[in-house]
Structure 1
Amino acid sequence: MPNAQRQNSALYKLNRPTNQLTAQQQSIQEQVIQFCLANANAKQATFLIQGAAGTGKSVLLSNLFKTLQTLARKTPTSPLYGCQNYLLVNHPEMLKLYKSGVTPSSVLLKKDFQRPTTFINQAAKNQQSVDIVLVDEAHLLLTKPDPYNHFKQNNQLDEIQRHSRITILVFDEQQVLKVKSYWQQQQLTQRINLIPHQTAQLTQQFRIQAHSSIENWIQAFHHQQVLALPHDPHFEFKVFADANDLYQAIRFKNQTSGLARMLATYDFPATLNDGHDHFVETPTFKLRWDRYQPTAKTYWAEREDSIDEVGSVYTIQGFDLNYAGIIIGPSVTYDPQNDCLVIHPEYYEDQAAFAGASHLADPIAAKHRIILNSLYVLMSRARNGLYLYAIDPALQTKLLSL
């Protein structure tokens, strides 16, 4: 595969060789291996890996799992030889990506990768306990029963720990997108503080190929602040007055650089699996939401036809783009008097994301956090350029003034 194509391949990024991990990633991988060896006979232990979007969490976890499976299946001298290990991920597109990396010569098997509910239900049915379970996107684990996803217990992390001796979690509180998986740092630490545990933090930004001012701007926006637009010669940060002009710019970038796609906040009607197309619309722009294709072999942004679609937060979470064109819908507005973003949960079309919020201590704050988290996920996808258009006139005026 030519180098340019490899850089645009999600599979290549996920299957990066160990010698291409950073010193920080290699150090954390070694810490996890040593933790597993030290707790090889423990009843329960947890290693927590944290990091913001784009810090290489999934890359590290993929490499780590391959190393553990090599020890478990190919290294008779290792104390971990014969261990039964699994990697779990809730995101169906990420699960597809992990499984696509399995080859006949690999130490990995497709059955090693499962969704959390599948693993939990099978383990409960068979009264089974395994050795090591790695969980990617642990912030997506359910914190309450969810009949739609066939989860009847109260908390997926509790159930995973019940059926594994060592649990390795990758977690980012800023990427929680639903009340039914509403994690806060305190909830997580309470669950691991009473057992042998260790934590590590990934800090180096890999996705956003720019000065830290770009990431700082996105983080500030996530906290409802609109800062002066940063300038970096290596990163294109643009605000468009017309959504169709933005789309044409994304199409051009897709032709010249690849992996350029349209994204939008979940502020436009959509119904999953109803057999109909649904559209993201502005006065000058109309494009269908991404079509759900569970049998597609490649992930959404690598399909040629997805340039004619708009991806949602659920489509793109966990993946990279070279250029992201984002339409910010009416749930996010701007207050000129107080110079801050204002969040309107009533305009958020994914009302299912708020199911169960009334049982939380502060339902409104939770809804605001979910919308802001979804915006953060969208904005943190781009490696080389971020293009914005806002539906709210006040926010659009503010962005253009920057």
Structure 2
Amino acid sequence: MKVIDTKSDAESPQGAPFFVDRCRFTPTQGIEISSLQLDDDKVQNWPMVYILANDNPRQKSAYVGETTSVSERMSQHSKNSEKDLFTSVNIIFNQEFNQSVIKDYENRLIGLMAADGVYKLTNKNEGHSNLNYFSKEKYESMFDDLWEELRRMELADKTISEIEESEVFKYSPYKSLSVDQRVALNKIYSAIESDLSKAKPIVVQGMPGTGKTILAIYLLKALRDDEKFKDLNIKIVEPMTSLRATLKKSLKGVGGLNARDVIGPNDLANPKFGYNPEVEKPFDILLIDESHRLTARRGITAFGSYDEVNKKLGLPKESTQLDWALKLTKLPIFFYDASQSIKPADIDPNSFEEKLGDALRHPIRLENQMRVQGGAEYLNYISDILNDKHPARRTFDNYEFVLHDSIDDFTDSFEQKLSEHNLTRMLAGYAWDWKTKGKPVASPLKDIVIGDKSFRWNSMLANWVGNGVANPIYAQEVGCVHTAQGYDLSYSYVIIGPDLKLDPITGRLIGDKDHYFDKKGKGGATAEQLTQYIKNIYYVLLTRGIYGTHVYVVDDALREYLKCYCYIMK
């Protein structure tokens, strides 16, 4: 039995030590109470947390639970065939546990262990919520000590801070939902529980950071865990290559889910992922994340494969990916934000309204800001600045919005933040050509040159943000919007290039076509449309940072203008 001292002081709770008692778990028999060092009365009647485990390398899995009677709970588990794979149980006892604490600890252990990756968790998604209770801060401090002991026992590997900075944790289906996410979940469930064959499209609308992607993942896991819906053909459709790779990686360690649950739009016509030409609507539910990035047949790179899908589905040549989703699924659920449409290929809002009608005019709204600590006020502030609404200057509690006067200060600050938070990244608009595309990472060639500083564009699209944690070389690159959209960053360091300037006559922000290098991003766009796409790109980039956004502006006039709105770092 392991005894873990805690760092809590003499306030309530008193910081009593934890006891971690480990014993064999046998299917049909459960545990032998006599093999435990804990007193019998505690085993039979005390609030505790436990971890069932199987350490066989071929099926290394775990289940986290809480109970007020370990003996009774283990007896129940021994009769449950789903628990037959487990061979041991780790029982966590503390003299100061109560039911609120063990529920909170259970939730935290599930979230951390699922992202840690030592075990594949088999827990079902039963609706976690943030609990408030007496002396919660003290118990949270005590939890840190418990986690370190679990690491020493090899039940966990990474530190809490390492896990919480990881993408896998950020996209875990075991997240606690906000109030408006739960309201949205209930509305969607009501539609699913009705006749799916008569279901109408649903639109979930929210600003960046309101938890659209998390809700989609949570919903997928909840439906797979629900006996009524587990056999439905459900997929998350992720239009963006980079985020799709990240979500696939995140779902690998989640019981009941796998990487094949996340597909791209073209995969909708692939039998490997559930398409069946003999069935009118082969998909029961499609959760279409970042649906504002679905494309039309314009400004794309692969017309051949695009046309092949339309042909296979019996649709006109000019049909869009939105048409594909509507044709192939009984209930399409679109997670949507028109302000994040960034190129001509993206289906325009008018087309969405034409096809979705009341679903788009009366969406389920997510309002609570879950990413940016500056809250919705910060996002509105950025939108107002970019869209020439001239908001009053303001600051935000617990959030850094900083303008750097020199590129040297910008990069020095970036290096400091990166050393403290490994999900800090540099991002930029498409104001430089991608000369290093396809070049080896070790190539001395650079894309972005500002003064005596030079940088390389992201050398990959798929999971560039996450790969920068494992390989510091990628963390030194500058990401484009396609590598950043949909992601949470600790700090976002944004270079506003010469593609966005201040019109000296009108005082308005305008796009500069001559300094915009995304060929597919400007084909066929009017000057006004291009300006809006560029503004939308910077809106996306400036709303990635959880704790702060740091900015360097290339254009002198625009830099002076933005000093009216930012804290200035000289």
TM (norm. structure 1) is 0.88
Q: What SS class does the counterpart of residue 398 from structure 2 fall into?
A: coil
User: Whole-Å Cα distance in 1 between the matches of residues 360 and 536 of structure 2?
Assistant: 30
Show CA shifts across 1:294-330 (max 9, x none). 4889445664322311111111111011111111111
Letter in 2 for 1:25: Q
Among candidates 159, 163, 167, match of residue 2 of structure 1: 159
Deviation, 1:120, is 3.0
Alignment correspondent of 2:238:
89
Alignment correspondent of 1:264:
428
Among candidates 452, 456, 460, match of residue 284 of structure 1: 452
Alignment correspondent of 1:360:
none
Among candidates 27, 31, 35, match of residue 187 of structure 2: 31
CA contact under 8 A between 1:222 and 1:372: conserved in structure 2? yes
User: Whole-Å Cα distance in 1 between the matches of residues 294 and 529 of structure 2?
Assistant: 16
1:209 lines up with 2:209 in the alignment:
no
Tell me the percent identity: 22
Structural mapping, 1:64-143, within 5 Å? 64-71=219-226, 75=227, 78=228, 80-103=229-252, 106-122=255-271, 126-128=277-279, 129-143=282-296
Per mean C-alpha deviation after superposition, the further-off stretch among 3-12 and 287-296 is: 287-296
Letter in 2 for 1:102: L
Q: What SS class does the counterpart of residue 185 from structure 2 fall into?
A: helix
CA contact under 8 A between 2:496 and 2:551: conserved in structure 1? yes
Deviation, 1:167, is 0.4
The root-mean-square deviation of aligned C-alpha atoms, in Å, is 2.6
CA contact under 8 A between 1:93 and 1:299: conserved in structure 2? no
Pick closer, same or farther for the CA change 1:52–1:5 going to 2, 3 Å. same
Letter in 1 for 2:342: L
Q: What SS class does the counterpart of residue 561 from structure 2 fall into?
A: helix
Letter in 2 for 1:116: P
Alignment correspondent of 2:306:
151
User: Whole-Å Cα distance in 1 between the matches of residues 377 and 254 of structure 2?
Assistant: 43
TM (norm. structure 2) is 0.63
Deviation, 1:111, is 1.8
CA contact under 8 A between 1:95 and 1:115: conserved in structure 2? yes
Deviation, 1:81, is 4.6
Among candidates 479, 493, 496, match of residue 325 of structure 1: 493
Alignment correspondent of 2:418:
254
Among candidates 366, 383, 400, match of residue 529 of structure 2: 366
Show CA shifts across 1:305-356 (max 9, x none). 2231111111111101111111111111113553321222232111211234
Deviation, 1:374, is 0.5
Pick closer, same or farther for the CA change 1:22–1:112 going to 2, 3 Å. same
User: Whole-Å Cα distance in 1 between the matches of residues 264 and 515 of structure 2?
Assistant: 31
Among candidates 134, 159, 169, match of residue 12 of structure 1: 169
Alignment correspondent of 1:378:
541
Show CA shifts across 1:61-111 (max 9, x none). 11011112223xxx1xx2x35211111101122111221123466111322
Per mean C-alpha deviation after superposition, the further-off stretch among 123-132 and 9-18 is: 123-132
Pick closer, same or farther for the CA change 1:312–1:38 going to 2, 3 Å. same
Q: What SS class does the counterpart of residue 346 from structure 1 fall into?
A: helix
Pick closer, same or farther for the CA change 1:298–1:331 going to 2, 3 Å. closer
Among candidates 217, 222, 231, match of residue 386 of structure 2: 222
Alignment correspondent of 2:508:
340
Q: How many residues align?
A: 388
1:172 lines up with 2:337 in the alignment:
yes
Q: What SS class does the counterpart of residue 139 from structure 1 fall into?
A: helix
Deviation, 1:144, is 1.7
User: Whole-Å Cα distance in 1 between the matches of residues 206 and 488 of structure 2?
Assistant: 16
Per mean C-alpha deviation after superposition, the further-off stretch among 297-306 and 168-177 is: 297-306
CA contact under 8 A between 1:251 and 1:307: conserved in structure 2? no
Letter in 2 for 1:166: L
CA contact under 8 A between 2:164 and 2:170: conserved in structure 1? yes
CA contact under 8 A between 1:87 and 1:112: conserved in structure 2? yes
Q: What SS class does the counterpart of residue 376 from structure 1 fall into?
A: helix
User: Whole-Å Cα distance in 2 between the matches of residues 46 and 274 of structure 1?
Assistant: 40
User: Whole-Å Cα distance in 1 between the matches of residues 399 and 486 of structure 2?
Assistant: 20
Rg larger for: 2
Alignment correspondent of 2:347:
182
Q: What SS class does the counterpart of residue 201 from structure 2 fall into?
A: strand
Show CA shifts across 1:265-292 (max 9, x none). 1101105743265421111321111111
Letter in 1 for 2:297: K
User: Whole-Å Cα distance in 2 between the matches of residues 111 and 132 of structure 1?
Assistant: 15
1:305 lines up with 2:470 in the alignment:
no
CA contact under 8 A between 2:493 and 2:549: conserved in structure 1? yes
User: Whole-Å Cα distance in 1 between the matches of residues 181 and 395 of structure 2?
Assistant: 29
Deviation, 1:60, is 0.8
Higher relative contact order structure (alpha carbons within 8 Å, sequence separation ≥ 6): 1
